[in-house]
Amino acid sequence: MQKLLTLLITLFVCATTYAQTGVSVSPPRLYFETDPGQSSTQKILVSNVSINNTLELAVSLGDWKYSNKGENLMFPADSLDTSCASWVSIPQQHNYFSLQPGEKKEIEVTLTTPNTLTGETPVHTAMLYVTQMNPIDDVDSQGANIRVSVRSGIKLFHKTLATQRRSIEIQNLLFNKKTKRVEFHFENTGNIWADGIIYPELLNTETGQKTTIKPIVFYSMPDDYRETDIILPADLEKGNYVATIIIDYGDENTIEMAELTFTYDE
């Protein structure tokens, strides 16, 4: 007898999972900008993208933050000092609802900033979950019977109308001889989230050969400390190198750059 396994799959983008069930939620992020005592309402669109199955869906809230590696870490609602989960309200009729195959539904999300809010914490976040409550029978890639339940997470961001100061500072750049990787650490020292792209490049100072490494997309919140490993090409020649790191984080007038000299003798 095959064992029946129930899977809860959490998505942080609009997506479809498995052939028999799927829920799409857009947009994947909502941004609110309100001062103390003010409210703002936005809408998300929830779609049942499955062909045959009716979905029973519930809306709930939680907290999240980035790890030092940039991964999403999930927490119960109101667990973090930066949480705005308790400020969020959903109309009662949208807390639990059904969608027929192919059906869509708009949900209103209202954020009301407390009158007592101070400027000590510059931004706040929360996670809004849309969870499938009726698991659907399916089969995995190995032919085993499973029950699939999908949960989509929408990130909520809040800031006040105060002046934004976007800033990224490189804290450390070194070559790890043991792992043969360039280790790169930076910090979000501003008062607002900063998203951007890291552009690594290598210059062989003996031959003049430049090696461009695939850019790295990153997302960060204020006070985030980020550790990033830059994997060197497998066919990189031995020699003396200058590694150049450029961070473009959306400021038209400012980029962050650092250089490192190292010897590669693999």
Same domain (yes/no): 22, 121: yes
Same domain (yes/no): 129, 194: no
Write out the two tokens for 263: 């010897």
Domain end point (choices 130, 159, 188): 159
* 3-state secondary structure at position 92: helix
Domain of residue 256 covers 168-264
pLDDT at 239: 94
pTM comes to: 0.85
Please give the tally of structural domains in the chain. Answer: 2
The residues, ordered by sequence, that sit 6+ positions from 121 with a Cβ below 8 Å of its Cβ are 81, 82
Same domain (yes/no): 100, 222: no
pLDDT at 138: 65
Strand 210-212 to strand 256-264: parallel, antiparallel, or no bridges (unpaired)? unpaired
CATH number of the domain encompassing residue 117: 2.60.40.10
Same domain (yes/no): 36, 146: yes
Same domain (yes/no): 14, 32: yes
pLDDT at 22: 78
Domain end point (choices 159, 187, 208): 159
Domain end point (choices 107, 128, 159): 159
Same domain (yes/no): 182, 51: no
Residue 150 and residue 17 in contact, taking contact as beta carbons nearer than 8 Å = yes
Same domain (yes/no): 36, 58: yes
Same domain (yes/no): 175, 155: no
Please count the other Cβ atoms lying within 10 Å of the Cβ belonging to residue 115: 9
CATH number of the domain encompassing residue 174: 2.60.40.2360
Burial category of 16 from C-beta neighbours within 10 Å (exposed 0-12, middle 13-18, buried 19 and up): middle
pLDDT at 170: 94
Same domain (yes/no): 199, 111: no
Same domain (yes/no): 142, 197: no
pLDDT at 4: 43
pLDDT tens digit at each of 266 positions of the chain: 334 444 454 554 433 344 455 788 999 999 999 999 999 999 999 999 888 889 999 999 999 999 999 999 999 999 999 999 999 999 999 999 999 999 999 999 999 999 988 877 889 999 999 999 887 766 556 666 767 778 899 999 999 988 888 999 999 999 999 999 999 999 999 999 999 999 999 999 999 999 999 999 999 999 999 999 999 998 999 999 999 999 999 877 788 999 999 999 87
Same domain (yes/no): 42, 174: no
Same domain (yes/no): 89, 134: yes
Positive or negative torsion for Cα 8, 12, 14, 16:
negative
